[in-house]
Structure 1
Amino acid sequence: METELITITEYCFKYDIEPEFIVSLEDSGIISLITVESEKCIHIKQFGELDRYIHLHYDLQINIEGIDAIRHLLEKVDAMQQEIKELKSQLHLHQ
């Protein structure tokens, strides 16, 4: 399991970002961190999302609140797309 985790310190050094940004994402409930031996770690399953948030924040200058709003809207779009797929499937069954 430990190979699936990376410390915030390592991650921030590798990607040249501020650790406070990662902590702010956790404080806002956008990501979840895992504490191992008193050090906060990121699970590899969150890397894709985290990369998106880094891009939004550092490249597009979007603050934490904006990232949270964007994340929420994208989740709604995904749910609506899933619902459309299900409705299309049901429609095909009735034809």
Structure 2
Amino acid sequence: MNNSDKSYIPVDLFCETCGVEISFVRELSDYGLCEVIIVEEKSYILPDQVAELERLSRLHYDMEINLEGLQAIVHLQEKIKALKEEVDMLNRKLNRHQ
């Protein structure tokens, strides 16, 4: 691992700390819900993904939401965020013309 990789978090450490299975993180990656980086045959995640992975693991383990459900939730949240940004932009345009 080179110097730029030092901020990566080993998947096994994340899983051990959060009490989730490594296979769960792999499946999230397969569904496009997180990015797993492979360096020298070891799996890592980026620190900025930790909060989202913790949230997804709570939804999965505590509320028993399957991966398809998690994917739908993430998609809908992204859509809501985009719509909010569009509304904000339209409000700014409207305010400029008043």
On the 8 A contact 2:18/2:54 being kept in 1, the answer is no
Q: For the residues of structure 1 that align with 2:58 and 2:18, how far apart are their CA atoms?
A: 11
Letter in 2 for 1:21: F
Letter in 2 for 1:82: E
Classify the secondary structure of the residue corresponding to 1:35.
strand
Letter in 2 for 1:6: I
Q: For the residues of structure 2 that align with 1:67 and 1:84, how far apart are their CA atoms?
A: 26
Letter in 2 for 1:57: H
The answer to whether structure 1 residue 3 and structure 2 residue 10 are counterparts is no
Structure 2 counterpart of 1:79: 82
Return the TM-score normalized by structure 2: 0.92
The answer to whether structure 1 residue 23 and structure 2 residue 26 are counterparts is yes
Classify the secondary structure of the residue corresponding to 2:35.
coil
Instruction: Give the one of 65, 70, 79 matched to 1:67.
Output: 70
Structure 2 counterpart of 1:56: 59
* Aligned length, in residue pairs: 95
Identical columns (%): 37
What 5-or-longer segments of structure 1 have no aligned partner? none
Return the TM-score normalized by structure 1: 0.95
Letter in 2 for 1:39: K
Structure 1 vs Structure 2 CA RMSD: 0.9
Classify the secondary structure of the residue corresponding to 1:54.
helix
Question: Which runs of structure 1 show a deviation greater than 2 angstroms over 4 or more consecutive aligned residues?
Answer: none
Q: For the residues of structure 2 that align with 1:26 and 1:77, how far apart are their CA atoms?
A: 22
